[in-house]
A and B are shown apart, each in its own frame.
Chain A
Amino acid sequence: MTLDPQLILDSLPLIAQGLGITLKLLLYSALFGIGLAIITLVMRISGRWYLSWPAQVYIYFFRGTPILVQIFIIYYGLPQFGFIRGSILWPILREPFACCVIALGLNSGAYVSEILRGGVLGVDKGLTEAGKALGLSSPQRFIYITAPIAIRLSLPAYSNEFISTLKATALASTVTLMDVTGVARTLVSQTYAPYEIFIAAAILYLAFAWISYVALAWLEARASRYVKKGN
Chain B
Amino acid sequence: MSGAQPVIVLDKVCKNFGAFRALINVSLSVSKGEKLVVCGPSGSGKSTMIRCINRLEEHDGGHIIVNGHELTKDSRNIDAVRREVGMVFQNFNLFPHLTVIKNLMLAPRLVRHKNKDEARAVAMKYLERVRIPNQADKYPSQLSGGQQQRVAIARALCMNPEIMLFDEPTSALDPEMIAEVLDVMTDLARDGMTMVCVTHEMGFARSVADKIVFMDAGEIVEAATPEAFFTKPQTERARQFLSQILAH
For residue B139, CB closer than 8 A to chain A, the reply is: yes
Which of A133, A140, A145, A226 gathers the greatest number of chain B CB atoms within 10 Å?
Answer: A133
Q: Which of A129, A140, A148 contacts B93 (CB 8 A)?
A: A129
Instruction: Chain A residues near B156: list those with CB within 8 A.
Output: 133-134
Give chain A nearest CB distance to B153 CB in angstroms. Answer: 12
CA distance A149 to B202 in the complex (A): 37
Is A134's CB under 8 angstroms from B159's CB? Answer: yes
Q: Return the CB mask of A190-225 against B: 1 if under 8 Å, else 0.
A: 000000000000000000000000000000000001
Instruction: Chain B residues near A148: list those with CB within 8 A.
Output: 97
Nearest opposing residue in chain A for B85, CB measure: A133
Is B97's CB under 8 angstroms from A133's CB? Answer: no
Instruction: Chain B residues near A231: list those with CB within 8 A.
Output: 141
For residue B68, CB closer than 8 A to chain A, the reply is: no
Q: What is the interface residue range for chain A against chain B?
A: 20 to 34
Instruction: Chain B residues near A86: list those with CB within 8 A.
Output: none
Instruction: Chain A residues near B83: list those with CB within 8 A.
Output: 135
Give chain A nearest CB distance to B122 CB in angstroms. Answer: 13
For residue A63, CB closer than 8 A to chain B, the reply is: no
Nearest opposing residue in chain B for A134, CB measure: B107
Is A130's CB under 8 angstroms from B89's CB? Answer: yes
Q: Return the CB mask of A129-141 against B: 1 if under 8 Å, else 0.
A: 1111111110010
Is A135's CB under 8 angstroms from B159's CB? Answer: yes
Count of chain B residues with a beta carbon within 8 Å of a chain A beta carbon? 30
Q: Which of B56, B98, B99, B142 contacts A228 (CB 8 A)?
A: B142
Nearest opposing residue in chain B for A138, CB measure: B75
Give chain B nearest CB distance to A154 CB in angstroms. Answer: 13
Is B141's CB under 8 angstroms from A130's CB? Answer: no
For residue A89, CB closer than 8 A to chain B, the reply is: no
CA distance A205 to B140 in the complex (A): 41
Considering the complex of A and B, which 4 residue pairs feature the smallest CB-CB distances, nearest first?
A228-B141, A130-B93, A134-B107, A133-B87
27 contacts between A and B (CB under 8 A): A126-B91, A126-B93, A127-B93, A127-B96, A130-B89, A130-B93, A132-B82, A133-B56, A133-B156, A134-B82, A134-B86, A134-B111, A134-B156, A134-B159, A135-B79, A135-B82, A135-B107, A135-B111, A137-B110, A140-B110, A144-B106, A149-B96, A149-B97, A225-B139, A226-B97, A226-B140, A227-B141
Q: Which residues of B contact A (CB under 8 A)?
A: 54, 56, 79, 82-83, 85-87, 89, 91, 93-99, 106-107, 110-111, 139-142, 152, 155-156, 159, 165
